[in-house]
Amino acid sequence: MQSRESLLDAFPDPGGIPADARLDAPVRMDGVLVGGKVVPWEGPFQDVTSPVRIRSGGGALSPAVIGRFPLMTEEAALRSLDAAVKAWDRGRGEWPTMPVAQRIRCFEKFLDRMRAARAEVVRLLMWEIGKSRPDSEKEFDRTVIYVRDTLNALKDLDRASSRFTIEDGVIGQIRRAPLGVTLCMGPFNYPLNETYTTLVPAILMGNPVVFKPPRFGVLLHAPLLSAFGDCFPPGVVNLVSGVGRQVVGPLMASGKIDVFAFIGTSPAADAIRKQHPKPHRLRCVLGLEAKNPAVILPDADLELAVKECLLGTLSFNGQRCTAIKLVFVHESVAADFVERLSAAVSALKIGMPWNEGVSITPLPEPGKPALLAELVADAVAKGARVVNPGGGATAESFFSPAVVYPVSASMRLFREEQFGPVVPVVPFRNPEEAVAAIVASDYGQQVALFGKDPEQLARLVDPLVNQVSRVNLNSQCQRGPDTFPFTGRKDSAEGTLSVTDALRVFSIRALVAAKENDLNRGILTDILRERRSSFLSTDYIF
């Protein structure tokens, strides 16, 4: 059973950190990536502290200071933006007009540099956001695969576009063209993966980018900054770091951002996008908050449901936008389910990200344990209880996972996204009660249904696919595989991401058309034969 004392005991003294997890020295990100170079930063810096506390000789705990990054000013952020604007050059820059095969070659070079940075990035993921070692490795490897798959998807897209169409006497060649300067902002829970899943397709389609790392998860970009400068033409990739309100608002207010790719919360997305002076010009692709429910039907395989709900609710401490954040369970199996779930949660290992077999790790957001405790207290005051012994204990950056039951509609946990290790369980008599709650919810990302009866599952699938974007059967909610569409309804998303969808999101179809006659046939034949154009081309990328 967890207690404040046992949580505190999980923090290490410096000697207790394995050599391969240790940071030999703080990571000093002393330069700014702008215009293709890492330029020394002369202004103020932000110290980065880890959610991991370190025990001193006397036993006192203090947050580990793991590095620093430039606290950029509005003027500096605008200089980065201007570098991207110059690289775009109203669509006439080197990058947006470069043949696809050459752009792909730049990325292949980058991918080699990226692979070489694996150990360093994984170590920083552990220290900056407290992600366990296997999950940090998975985040890195999944991102490398995503980049590779994106390159292959663009080759396919380009091959399909490397031909002319003749329709109703008109010859046409249709391709996808870039949109312009793109601002990419990823979230702290996947600071590498969910930054790169927009950054990479945006750049690859020919759009120069300014990217702003999340509040937690900045230093892990340091090992790759010079690679961006070395692999792409000047100004194609620029990084802005600092306080979001100070640097992001001015970027948007400049009116020079054409595409806004953001993964975070809807209030933050709204606050940023509305600063654009011509909002109709701004293309947005947004991955936002969610409150994905699981629905456990009376005939569900409870062992399987507990296993999937445990993963779904508590992987990376529940800090996933796709996490299951509310569990509806039929009253006939509720007691059994809650007991099994509670036992499974009690068996989870709490510790440091590098500890073998660890599941629950320190939380990076400083106010999070207190906020989670508030949500649990609200539920308890209204008649629920924490079922698992020691659940809800807090100490420093730890929050011991809590299974809260029975949760009802009057409680904050029923509707607020906890984004942390709290599992609210709601009993129901009729599945319609769960469906009604999903219909009424502000969110519409995914749902997980657990049951065996095909007839009953089908009856739920049909209404639910019009409420959410993915219905999972006897499986937790998740984004992957990354080739599947990742989107949501209502407050949960705008636009669709996947390996192939992202290439479309960051581009627009453009075509060259000509009435079919001898003059035009001759012109087109000459352009192709003499390779006079990147756009008008039948070259096939092998």
Q: Interface with ligand G3H by CB under 6 A: which residues?
A: 189-190, 194, 320-322, 478-480
CB distance 96 to 88 below 8 Å:
yes
| Min CB(419)–ligand G3H separation in Å | 9
Compute the least distance from the CB of residue 511 to ligand G3H, in Å. Answer: 34
CB 214 within 8 A of CB 191: yes
Minimum Å gap between C-beta 190 and ligand G3H is 6
CB of 12 or CB of 214, closer to ligand G3H: 214
What residues contact residue 468 under an 8 Å CB cut-off, 6+ apart? 292, 438, 444, 445, 446, 447, 488, 489
- For residue 196, the one-letter residue type is Y
In the complex with ligand G3H, which residue's Cβ is closer, 88 or 506?
506
The minimum distance between CB 199 and ligand G3H, in angstroms, equals 15
Round to whole Å and give the CA distance between 491 and 265. 9
Please answer whether residues 17 and 10 qualify as being in contact, where contact means their C-beta atoms are separated by less than 8 angstroms.
Answer: no
Among 340, 269, 332, residue whose Cα is nearest residue 488: 269
Helices 133-161 + 100-116 axis angle, to 10: 170
Query: Look-up: residue for tokens 């020079």?
Result: 256
CB of 478 to ligand G3H, least distance (A): 4
Residue 70 identity (one-letter amino acid): P
Nearest approach, Cβ of 445 to ligand G3H (angstroms)?
9
Q: Whole-number minimum distance, CB 497 to ligand G3H, in Å?
A: 9
Q: Measured between alpha carbons, how far is residue 311 from residues 230, 306, 341, 423, 475 in Å?
A: 40, 9, 11, 11, 10
Cα separation, 13 vs 239, whole angstroms: 35
Q: How far is the CB of 354 from ligand G3H (least distance, A)?
A: 20
Omega before 389 cis (within 30°)?
no
Q: Which residue's CB is nearer to ligand G3H, number 197 or number 238?
A: 197
Beta carbon of residue 502, minimum distance to ligand G3H (angstroms, whole number): 13
Residue from 144, 137, 82 nearest 107 by CA: 144
Vertex 185, ends 290 and 248: CA angle to 5°?
115
Quote the Cα angle for 374-133-473, to 5°.
65
460 phi and psi angles, rounded to 5 deg: -90, -35
Q: Which is nearer to ligand G3H, 181 or 321 (CB)?
A: 321
Q: Which of 365, 342, 360, 366 is nearest to 399 (CA)?
A: 360
Nearer to ligand G3H, 189 or 241 (CB): 189
Closer CB to ligand G3H, 173 or 313, in the complex: 313
Q: How far is the CB of 198 from ligand G3H (least distance, A)?
A: 11
Per DSSP bridges, beta strands 182-185 and 259-263 are parallel
Q: How far apart are CA 448 and CA 474, in angstroms?
A: 7
Q: Which is nearer to ligand G3H, 194 or 494 (CB)?
A: 194
CB of 306 to ligand G3H, least distance (A): 19
Please, what's the largest Cα pairwise distance for the chain? Answer: 89
Residue 91 has which token pair?
A: 């669509």
- List phi, psi (to 5°) of 59: 100, -10
Shortest separation between residue 323's beta carbon and ligand G3H, angstroms: 8
Q: Where are the beta strands (DSSP E) in 145-250?
A: 165-167, 170-178, 182-185, 209-212, 237-239
Size (the chain), residues: 542
User: Which are the contacts of 404, defined by CB distance < 8 A and separation ≥ 6?
Assistant: 376, 379, 380, 384, 385, 386, 387, 391, 413, 422, 423, 424, 425
Please name the residues in contact with 98: beta carbons below 8 A apart, sequence gap of 6 or more: 206, 233, 534
Nearer to ligand G3H, 190 or 428 (CB): 190
Shortest CB 130 distance to ligand G3H, Å: 15
Contact (Cβ atoms closer than 8 angstroms) between residue 505 and residue 457 = no
Q: Cβ closer to ligand G3H: 194 or 501?
A: 194
Nearer to ligand G3H, 10 or 477 (CB): 477
C-beta of 36 vs 420, nearer to ligand G3H: 420
Other CB atoms closer than 10 Å to residue 538's CB: what's the count? 10
Of 190 and 399, CB closest to ligand G3H: 190
Specify the residue, 195 or 537, whose C-beta has the smaller distance to ligand G3H. 195
- List the structure tokens of 187: 């979230």
